[in-house]
Chains A and B, each alone.
Chain A
Amino acid sequence: MTAVQAFENLCEVKISPWIRAMRRVFYCGEWLQSHTLHIHMLAAPDFLGFTNIIEMATQHAAVVRRGLRLQTLGNDLIELFGTRSVHPVGVQVGGFYTAPAVTDVANIVERLQAAKQEADDLVRWTASLSLPQEEQVFVSVALRHPTEYPMNEGRIVSSAGLDIDCHEYPAHFREHQVPHSTALHALLQDKPYLVGPLARINLNHDRLPVELRELLTRCGFSFPSQNMFHSIVARAAECWLAIDEALRLLQDYASPSQAAITWQARAGTCMMATEAPRGLLWHHYDLDAAGRVQTARIVPPTSQNQARIEEDLRYSFENLDLNQSDDALRLHGETVIRNYDPCISCATHFLQLEVQRD
């Protein structure tokens, strides 16, 4: 979507209100699917003392079933527009390849309505988890939109006062190589920063629906928060938002006259930023006159969080009683890293720990 929108900006494609709304629904599906998977399969077992979701399911079957239902709903929202739920292919420059049938949307609307109570329950449940109280100093970075909770439009803002257009990204954010890693690290004014659900809510809590804000308050949560362990609650809140927003946008669905706008390719440079489930995603392209990509640069959220993750690990271990077994220390490290929901392949048992004890 980020690439498509970058190309549309370059080619001055004016998408219809229908396309804009349905792209937002598409993002709702992405967030719901990604967040529910992370909450139930990766993060929650940590906070409940289980090794994995299978163990957790022996004592919290209803919770796990609810998580799987919501994840499936997210997948089906994506598939409604993307043809398939993983690496969806339904989006094109100018709109979508097809528009979903009214009957298919009606089915999803019914499921979204039924999911509202489950979304409430999910927020309450994550807020009831025993989460470490560990405040840190960090800068949050996310998109901000004049009126909406940001998904695929907005300016790039930070909790340190940054407020820029996506074209100004390279002037403020710097990617560089570090000797100990094959991953590039990204810095904002030479410092690590946070992207992702917690950063988004920190910078956009006033854009949450009133009902959600009141629910969070009743659960004893207020944002902004400088506690990374509150990320699980931020994800649950965004699941609530995704269901509510998708319902709002699909409630009066009607098939459009066109699922896509025709457009003309042109040469030039284009950039775009959107909010992937894991955080701010920025793209840069150079195109030739035929619309072929000559150069591309993609800065994903997990890459942007690398420096912050390392900073967090250092802080966490410096403030932890290290008189514990290697396994306990490893689990603590993994739990800290999982707050950032790095790409799934990194989020399961992956950490190699070397402990030097005097």
Chain B
Amino acid sequence: MTESCHKISPPSHDQNQQSLIRVIGIGSSHGVDQVGWLVCDRLQATVNGENVDWKWCRTPTQLPQLIQDCAAVVIIDAILSEHSTGQVICLAWPLQQNHYQSVCSSHAINVIEALQLAETLEQLPSHTYLLGLTVTSRDENATSVVDNAIPQIEHELTRIVDRVAEHSSCDL
């Protein structure tokens, strides 16, 4: 698999924390649950951006604290969806009701609920995105899934960065 090296340049006109784009991979070290972490590992190696911050998170309960003090947050996680394996779904907050189905979480609250909590506490960045990488089975090979999806994830991340930059320019 050829690794691409992209320069995704977030807005560099403002060096303070409020221009920061934080990318958070949710996952664990087990099986297909590694997806969020592996994506962050790969992107950190290839994405060249001064104002991009990378975090690896195990449970959604950590999200409300992790997403503070940044202009934008991109959360990357494995998702179950009607799409085929490796398909990347990009959702912008606030989510439409039909964009997701609440699923029980093994971690007290799921990603959506964690973001709802952050919003209730007024801790949600003005730009919040979810990048879901579709898996259809827990037995899938996480590395293969990520390898095939990386170009599309980089494309989505570039679009998000451009969108954030555009909004930041309008705010000046």
Contacts and interface: CB of A to CB of B under 8 A. Distances in A.
B121 interface: yes
Looking at chain A's contact residues, is the secondary structure mostly helix, strand, loop, or mixed?
A: helix
A86 B59 contact: yes
B64 to A, nearest CB: 5
A263 B88 CA distance: 49
11 contacts: A52-B113, A57-B120, A61-B120, A64-B117, A64-B121, A71-B61, A86-B58, A345-B107, A348-B104, A348-B108, A349-B104
B64 A344 contact: no
Contacts of B168: none
Given A72-B65, A344-B106, A57 B117 contact: yes
A41 B121 contact: no
B109 A52 contact: yes
B56 interface: yes
B62 interface: yes
A314 B42 CA distance: 52
A61 B122 CA distance: 9
B120 A41 contact: no
Interface string A41-79: 110000000001110011001001100110110010000
Interface in B90-134: 104-109, 113, 116-117, 120-123
A61 B109 CA distance: 17
A338 B121 CA distance: 25
Contacts of B169: none
A52 B110 CA distance: 12
B107 to A, nearest CB: 6
Nearest to B29: A87
A37 interface: yes
Given A57-B121, A64-B121, A84-B56, 5 more contacts: A37-B108, A68-B65, A72-B62, A86-B28, A348-B105
Interface string B132-165: 0000000000000000000000000000000000
Interface in A321-358: 344-345, 347-350
B121 A42 contact: no
A349 B113 CA distance: 14
A128 to B, nearest CB: 21
Given A61-B121, A64-B121, A87-B29, A41 B58 contact: no
A151 B136 CA distance: 42
A65 B116 CA distance: 14
A75 B29 contact: no
Nearest to B119: A54
A87 B108 contact: no
Contacts of A158: none
Nearest to A348: B108
Contacts of A202: none
